[in-house]
Amino acid sequence: MNEYIIMTDSSCDLPDSMAKEMELEVNTLSLVLEGKEYVNYLDGREIGFHEYYDFLREGKMGSTSAANIESFRNMMEPILKSGKDLLYLGFSSGLSGTYNAGLQAANELSEKYPERKIYTVDTLAASLGEGLLVYYAAQEKKKGKSIEEVRDCIEKLKLNLCHWFTVNDLHHLKRGGRVSATTAIAGTILQIKPVMHVDDDGKLINVEKARGRRAAIKRLADIMAETAIDPAKQTVFISHGDCIEDAEYLASMIRDKLGVKDIMINYVGPVIGTHSGPGTLALFFIGKKR
């Protein structure tokens, strides 16, 4: 069996230590803030996560762009040259052009290296939703599964990967066209918090509204209780936009309510956080459907 490498992109929001432990290759995305470009490394070496959210709180606006084909080609080709195969799990095509850039690079390199296996999976996921699928892929690889078996496992699992989240400030979603200006203003005045998810097409969908932050967080836990498959045995990921207390509150609820033991909490990185803003709180688990 040929050796293979799992690759992803930095919108997976995994802790750097976990990515290293799983021996991942991570193509870094970037953002521009106040005219300066920063690379979104998983360890935050160019811009700290707390620091970035402070910039957003001050009213500064960041912008992001998808990784380009050349960046993927430059990362993929040395792996193939070394005699290893490659499985790329990418940021949802419903939210970004990143996956399609990776796919195009993979297709070009497949022609150049016909003896190598190069597979790609559109995770239709973002932040630690993407990260959770990458985690499952790494666990399957660790069990000795072939590159095709891991690819097929993730393709089968991805539409059961539930992303549920809420935000504290609707104005960031308004900037990205996710909610109207009227909704953002009214929601802010009335303390209405959206409860959203990522659908089967990998796009953000506004599903419900909750009156107040605590109600929205409780709703995330309730939805998991309603839809999760055998939650006590799952590994659950929670990502947050610099609101660790809320993330820990949500974690304690699902521990108490559902008996979940294995919970990993990490930041929503700057690329995703640019669009969702400070106070974003997201819950990722395996359910009966998205």
Model-level pTM?
0.94
**Which three-class secondary structure string do you get for the chain?**
CCCEEEEEEHHHCCCHHHHHHCCCEEECCEEEECCEEEECCCCCCCCCHHHHHHHHHCCCCEEEECCCHHHHHHHHHHHHHCCCEEEEEECCCCCCCHHHHHHHHHHHHHHHCCCCCEEEEECCCCHHHHHHHHHHHHHHHHCCCCHHHHHHHHHHHHHHEEEEEECCCHHHHHHCCCCCHHHHHHHHHHCEEEEEEECCCCCEEEEEEEECHHHHHHHHHHHHHHHECCHHHCEEEEEECCCHHHHHHHHHHHHHHHCCCEEEEEECCHHHHHHHCCCCEEEEEEECCC
Domain positions in the chain are 4-157, 160-286
User: pLDDT of 115-161, one tens digit each?
Assistant: 999 999 999 999 999 999 999 999 999 999 999 999 999 999 999 99
Q: For 167-214, what is each residue's pLDDT tens digit?
A: 987 665 556 555 556 555 555 655 778 899 999 999 988 888 898 999
The topology under which CATH files domain 4-157 is Rossmann fold (3.40.50)
For 160-286, the fitting CATH number among 3.40.50.20, 3.30.70.2190, 3.40.190.10, 3.30.1180.10 is 3.30.1180.10
